[in-house]
Structure 1
């Protein structure tokens, strides 16, 4: 089964994260939905829990089965992570040349967020395990770091506690609830407690898939279509108004979105599942990891070197150029980097295709 509608949602969520990192521009400032769209990272985590459970729950039955699972996830995540990390390194070297020979840059070259130690940590996907006091190198990759280790924790727990899965889930949620209470309901962490944030949302996604198996696949088309419209409105409103103390509730809202739209029984989900939106799901991982590089390169090129005026028109042009370049780069990285270590598409099973939709 391919969850095409929620895969399209994932692509849309990646675009919202891009716009979140452009909110400093006057043309986008003051739009609450964009200003809080970093919360869509939790949508990625919940969807991963949903899809990975679907793809691997029956496969991971003993300790020996964890190794091929871990290798498969590593091959899916690492090539693009390494590629973008090297791109950031090359860009920083380019900035060094610009700073010394063209124009003095306001932001220092090879600043504290781009140290040698943090580069090594990025190579080992450990950059977001509370080793540093900030996001390092390619900022969005913090979530890839914690997600990879969440996969491993999930797989080991599945083997060790499969017969008592509800009990261990209850224990995990109790520990996470203690953490949430200690932090006043806030789960928006990245380089420090990002692993807790990911585990929490991933568990919500896993339980959402287990719940989806218990629900009847039938339903009234009109009623489901109306519920999809209302749910979309609720999501947009909630993202626009939630506070940090309410952020712990957002994964449950995203779980409801995934639960409803994964069934593809309503008008909106059928539109999102159409072939013309398939590219959004395919390119979403590349969108996510590529975008900060493109934004920084275009900012340097357009505003610092070409001297594009920081007017409404100039900012709008900058946004359009960035989105276009992110898309073009992502088409390249999806075809030639992301799937570099993957099996040929012609030999991949339905479940492996579904699994590829998870980060």
Structure 2
């Protein structure tokens, strides 16, 4: 079973994260929604918990069942992570050549965020376990690091607390509540306490899936459409207005959205579930991991080499070129990198992904934000 509507949400959330990293440009500057769109990473975490519970909760019953689950998750997450890490390394080497032989660059080459030790940490997915004082190399990969280890902790806890899930949730949320209170309600962390942030949202996603059956099942199409519209409006207002002290509430809102829209009973969810939008969800993981290197390359190519002026029009050109290049690179990485370690039945290419043409949904393995046999945001 695929949750097609929330899959489309996932793709749009990835695009908002891209815009978040371009918020310094004049067309986006001052937009509160864009400035706070990094919170959509928590949407990915909640959705991952929701999907993992759907696809793996009943499969993880003993210690022996953990190994194939972890291997699947690693195979889904690691190829693209490694590819983008090597891309960043290659780009840094190119920057060295440009800085020495073409034009002086303002940012240092192989700076404090790109050390040998942090490179090794990225290779082992440990770069965001509070080992460094900043995000390193491919910045967005911090969430891949913490999510991978969240999978392992979650699977172990399912085995240990299989007969008393209520105790597991009680202990987990008590400890998480203690952390949140100590940090004044904020969960906006990445390289330091990103694991806690991920675990909190992931468990909310798990609980949301387990409780989804309690949702009213007799709502009409119009009633469901009204609820969906109300939730979208609430989401827009919440993202515009929330503060760090209120950020702990956002995963709860995202869980409600996922629970409602996964039912696909209203007008908005029906629209989002259309095949023409589903390609956004399939490309979301690639969008997420590819975009910072594309932004960096285009910054040098357009502003340093081509001398595109930093005007409103120049910044708009940069934004649209970056979005187009992220999409094209993501089509390539989705088809030839992401699924390289997947079984042949789940890694066949989908030419229609590039154009958004009608395709019939296939179960995929997704990593950080997915939902199928081996879905995450993959």
The TM-score with structure 2 as length reference comes to 0.93
Matches of 1:28 and 1:330 in 2, distance apart? 23
Distance in 1 between residues matched to 2:114 and 2:316, nearest whole Å? 29
Q: Which runs of 4+ in 1 moved over 6 A?
A: none
Q: 1:52 touches 1:358 (CA, 8 Å); kept in 2?
A: no
Equivalent residue, structure 2, for 1:356: 375
Paired position in structure 2 for 1:106: 106
Residue in 2 aligned with 1:78? 78
CA RMSD of aligned residues (A): 1.4
- Counterpart CA distance in 2 for 1:165 and 1:339 is 33
Q: Is the contact made by 1:286 and 1:333 (CA closer than 8 Å) also made in structure 2?
A: yes
Distance in structure 1 (CA, Å) of the matches to 2:92 and 2:187: 31
Cross-structure match for 1:157: 157
| TM-fit CA distance, 1:76 | 0.3
Preserved contact between residue 346 and residue 363 of structure 2 (Cα < 8 Å): no
Partners of 2:251 and 2:76 in 1: CA distance: 24
Partner of 1:295, secondary structure, is: helix
Shift in Å, 1:27 = 1.0
Residue 283 of structure 2 is matched in structure 1 by 283
2:10, 2:280 within 8 Å by CA — same for their partners in 1?
A: yes
Q: Provide the C-alpha distance between the structure 2 equivalents of 1:193 and 1:350, rounded to a whole number of angstroms.
A: 32
Tell me how far apart the structure 2 counterparts of residues 92 and 191 of structure 1 sit (CA, whole Å): 21
* Structural mapping, 1:177-196, within 5 Å: 177-196=177-196
Equivalent residue for 1:244? 244
Distance, in Å, in 1 between the alignment partners of 2:300 and 2:214 is 52
Say if 1:282 and 1:357, in contact at 8 Å, map to a contact too. no
Deviations 1:19-41 (A, max 9, x none): 00000001110110000000000
Question: 1:214 Cα deviation (Å)?
Answer: 3.6
Distance apart, 1:137 and its partner CA: 0.1
Separation in structure 1 between the aligned mates of residue 316 and residue 284 of structure 2, nearest angstrom: 23
Q: Deviations over 1:127-165 (max 9, x none)?
A: 000000000000000000000000000000000111111
Distance 1:182 1:325 in 2: 42
The corresponding residue for 2:296 is 296
Question: TM-score, with normalisation over the residues of structure 1?
Answer: 0.98
Task: Please name the residue that 2:128 is paired with.
Answer: 128
Is this contact kept in 1: 2:284–2:377, CA < 8 A?
no
Unaligned runs of 5+ in 2: 349-361, 366-370
Give SS of 2:65's match. Answer: helix
* Corresponding residue number in structure 1 for 2:368: none
> Any conservation in 2 of the 1:49–1:201 contact (CA below 8 Å)?
yes
> Hey, what does 2:358 align to over in structure 1?
none
Q: Residue 224 of structure 2 aligns with which residue? A: 224
* C-alpha separation in 2, matches of 1:343 and 1:9: 26
Structure 1 partner of 2:146: 146
Q: Secondary structure at the match of 2:163?
A: helix
Give the secondary structure class of the aligned counterpart of 1:163.
coil
Residue of structure 2 in register with 1:344 after alignment: 344
Maintained 8 Å contact 2:48/2:202: yes
What 5-or-longer segments of structure 1 have no aligned partner?
none
Summarize deviations over 1:278-314 as a string: whole Å, max 9, x none. Answer: 1101000000000001000000110011110000100
Q: Are residue 314 (structure 1) and residue 333 (structure 2) matched?
A: no
SS across alignment from 1:112? coil
- What SS does the aligned partner of 1:162 have? coil
Q: Deviations over 1:254-295 (max 9, x none)?
A: 001101000000000000000100110100000000000100
With 205-214 and 195-204 compared, the bigger mean Cα shift is at 205-214
Separation in 1, partners of 2:340, 2:347:
15
| Deviation of the 1:357 alpha carbon | 4.7
- Residue 62 in structure 1 maps to residue 82 in structure 2: no
Q: Would the alpha carbon gap of residues 350 and 137 (structure 1) be closer, same or farther in structure 2, given more than 3 Å must change?
A: closer
Q: Is the 8 A contact 1:10 1:284 kept in 2?
A: yes
Query: Aligned pair count?
Result: 359
